[in-house]
Structure 1
């Protein structure tokens, strides 16, 4: 599949079920220290009616009429030392079907959506992502700008991309406005397993999908 055959378009309400399945499959084999489970599809579910989602920046990648990639944005804000605020955005999950990965689809989604974010007047894109991947797309460590998360940390996974030159200079603290939904996806074990079991019954009947035995 060549990227020349990919169509990038805005996410539509009817895409929800396809995006759920795409997200689950895209992250199923992802592993890193501290990862507990594949819960990104639960996050998509929790964000469905979240007021901090920016629908104008949520895009899908289509190939031959099938959704093979998706990017979702939520609003965030950088609070500077003088208490002024910058309107920023944050993306994630960014999902590409496993068979379509390493073909530039994720890069297309990121670049297309960030150009739209620039047109909309946002100052920057801030993410917590894979430290070795996003610098290839122009992201830099957020600490370069003196930025920290609310807990004061600024590790390699916290990265920034200025949409307005100089916007982030002077530093500040990033606030993820959809933080409640992201934390719930990670910490709400009962809610996750109830959702995930129903999800597996609906889309992958006969496959294991229940909570681990204790």
Structure 2
């Protein structure tokens, strides 16, 4: 299996992969593929952080990391990373594909100078990789999402210390 940057020519395949993968996901609103397309067209898109897992010429996993703003208690804005979405085809799940995509994506983001990443997801899955509830960092979401599902990770030690503030996720 190879983890590599997605290409523009793979957009239709990625769209289908995301749609199909989330049809069997524990949590899904059925619109994840549309969210990917909106993110790709936004100013938050970072092409070098859209990655795919490929095996035998077939795309079997996908992750997208985009820019995410946090407003600190002092009113300043800080730019970090949003991880959304992360998926693997049903027949390739539980083989470490998501973990590899996540680790490669976060490492690339760190090399690009980003110091923290956020996501909305299953804490049982993501906490294994060091994600914690954002409320532990003093960061609260303004979307009304239950706190246990809003997670963050410091890519650089203490990047979020004393950073009380708010996070608002794009709809």
Task: Please say if 1:60 is aligned against 2:52.
Answer: yes
Q: Show the counterpart of 1:26.
A: 21
Change (3 A) 1:26 1:166: same
Q: Give, in whole Å, the separation in 2 of the partners of 1:174 and 1:16.
A: 28
**8 A contact 1:72–1:92 mirrored in 2:** yes
Equivalent residues in 2 for 1:116-195, closer than 5 Å = 116-150=108-142, 155-170=147-162, 171-176=164-169, 179=170, 183=171
C-alpha distance in 2 between matches for 1:71 and 1:24: 13
Aligned length: 170
Which whole-Å CA distance do the structure 2 matches of 1:15 and 1:153 have between them? 32
For residue 78 of structure 1, what is the aligned residue in structure 2? 70
> 4+ residue runs of structure 1 moved beyond 6 angstroms?
none
Provide the secondary structure at the position in 2 that maps to 1:164: coil
Which residue number in structure 2 is paired with residue 103 of structure 1? Answer: 95
CA distance in 1, matches of 2:63, 2:159: 24
Q: Distance in 2 between matches of 1:61 and 1:130?
A: 21
Give distance in 2, aligned partners of 1:96 and 1:152: 27
- Residue in structure 2 matching 1:15, options 6, 10, 16: 10
Where in structure 1 are there 5+ consecutive unaligned residues? 1-5, 184-214
Measured after TM superposition, the shift of residue 127 of structure 1 is 0.8
State the Cα distance separating 1:17 from its structure 2 match: 1.1
TM-aligned CA deviation for residue 153 of structure 1: 6.5
Cα pair 1:86 1:123 within 8 Å, conserved: no
- Aligned partners of 2:51 and 2:63 also within 8 Å: yes
Q: State the superposition RMSD in angstroms.
A: 1.7
Give the TM-score, by structure 2 length. Answer: 0.92
Give 1 or 2 for the bigger CA radius of gyration.
Answer: 1
The structure where strand makes up a greater share of residues is 2
